[in-house]
Amino acid sequence: MASKFFLIAQREYLTRVRKKAFIVLTLAVPLLLAAFGFIIAKVASSDNDTTDVVEVRDDSGLNVASRLASTPQLRFEAATGTLAEAKKGFLKAKHDGLVYLPTGLDVEKPTGVQFFGKGNISLKKQLAVESALNKAFSELKMQKSGLTQDQLDRLRSKVDMQAVSLDETGKEANSNALATSGVSYALALAIYMFIFIYGVQIMRGVGEEKSSRIMEVMLSSVKPFDLMMGKIVGIAAVGLTQFLLWGVLSFGVSSVVLPLLTGKEKPKTEVAAGTAAPGAAATAADNDEPQSAGERFDKSMEAQKQQPVMTGRFKAFEALANLPLGTILFGFIAYFLGGYLLYGALFGAVGAAVDDQTDTQQFMFPITMPLILSYIVGVSVILRNPDGPVAFWMSMFPLTSPIAMVIRLPFGVPMWQLGLSVFLLILGFVGTVWVAARIYRVGVLMYGKKVTYKELGKWMFYKG
């Protein structure tokens, strides 16, 4: 009987891997992913390359404009003339905004500041300008309290914090939340898509064979359980083959595409906004006079920000080596197969129970609901708190653990929790297969009868 099971699995495997659609999809997906990644990276880097120029008309008499620190993405320039003249000049120039600081502005409660823009002003631009103004007024308040410029410079601080993870033995390793979250999200998405895509293939395959009456011939020589498991295992092997090929091809493509994404950015010079008042000092970028300690401090801080964006990405890639790769690989394969076999058996039972594919929707919802719920909760809750009670219980429940646990794996999971979760998943798979087999053996030869949940309950307890 085991030989018949393997023959069915072999037939399902070879039939699908020999299709042109399988070959084309296997070759195209890594290229498409690389292309999308390249486009997204280029769009993101091009957005960082642009510098918004904001003019400042300062009538406050507080010399606020000279305190507005520019960044590589936002540069302040002094606007000349009256407010009306500044508006006309702004509309003619290709600048991105105009800030007006009115006369009589109170340092303690600065109200009446206006930001003019062409069309609707983006939230990102507005928040950046507000942040620069808040910093400038904070310095004015501290200076008003009696602090000198040198004291203000010494009060500034920038903490360079390095995240370090400790394992159970006390061993230290560099940590990167971005890289860890990215791996968690990718693993969860892979299992989510795999279960849906190949689970539906099982359901449709069983439904097509049932509607064509091929089942009547096949069941004359093989048991329903062996037939169902052969189809599930065969299609699982197809999916595993495809994912392995995707992994190998993606590695090859990334080795070519990644160097294209690592080009250095052009350095950008910081420019401080000058004041619009007559006789005010020019900006540091427009003269060769020695800079004050505060200006040198701002220059050094902005120089650090001007480091190429890829530096952070390289740190993310380096952090991948510090992840528990062995545990991640084992867990991914275990939940990859366990989750598929669990849901695949249910999809097969649904395909055997109905005559018309349109009737599958009423039975698909309760099956896919835990899967959808685990994905939504996983990326919104578990990613933020991988050791919380929601993450723990969802990683133990067999219907949600395939996604919930793989999200937790890159963050580090105690071995007893991983072992208990895998054990419960195996029990869930055995129970699911038993339920699906009872439904499958009756439903696969049932024609012309409208199936209900009550009817499915009766099929589970039929003898024979």
Would you kindly state where each structural domain of the chain is located, as residue ranges? 2-41+176-260+317-459, 50-152+269-305
Confidence of residue 419 (pLDDT cuts 50, 70, 90): very high
Model confidence at 398, pLDDT cuts 50, 70, 90, reads very high
Architecture per CATH, 50-152+269-305: 3-Layer(aba) Sandwich (3.40)
Cβ–Cβ under 8 Å, residues 191 and 406: yes
Helix (H) or strand (E) holding 389: helix 389-396
Q: How far apart are CA 264 and CA 310, in angstroms?
A: 8
Nearest to 209 by CA among 373, 445, 33, 372: 445
What backbone phi and psi angles, to 5 degrees, belong to 99?
-100, 130
CA–CA separation, 157 vs 226, rounded Å?
69
**Residue range 74-88, pLDDT digits in tens:** 888 888 788 888 888
- pLDDT > 70 fraction of the chain, expressed in percent and rounded: 73
Question: How much is the average pLDDT of 97-115?
Answer: 84
Residues 6+ apart with CB under 8 A from 316: 176, 178, 179, 182
How far is it, in rounded angstroms, from Cα 43 to Cα 309?
13
Q: How confident is the model at residue 276 (pLDDT cuts 50, 70, 90)?
A: very low
Report CA-CA distances (Å) from 131 to 125, 126, 174. Answer: 10, 9, 31
Give tens-digit pLDDT for 427-459. Answer: 998 888 888 888 877 777 776 667 777 777 777
Q: How confident is the model at residue 165 (pLDDT cuts 50, 70, 90)?
A: low
Compute the average pLDDT of residues 3-14.
Answer: 83
124-155: per-residue pLDDT in tens? 888 888 888 888 888 788 777 777 767 767 77
Mean per-residue pLDDT for 106-126? Answer: 81
Q: What is the pLDDT of residues 312-370, one digit of tens each?
A: 445 555 556 667 778 888 888 899 888 988 898 888 888 877 776 666 777 888 888 99
Q: C-alpha dihedral over 327, 328, 331, 336, to 10 degrees?
A: -160
Answering whether pTM is above 0.75, one says no
Q: What is the pLDDT of residue 45?
A: 64
Question: How many of the other CB atoms lie within 10 Å of CB of 423?
Answer: 12
203-215 burial by CB neighbour count: b if 16+ within 10 A, else e? bebbbebbeeeeb
Residue 168 φ then ψ, to 5°:
-65, -25
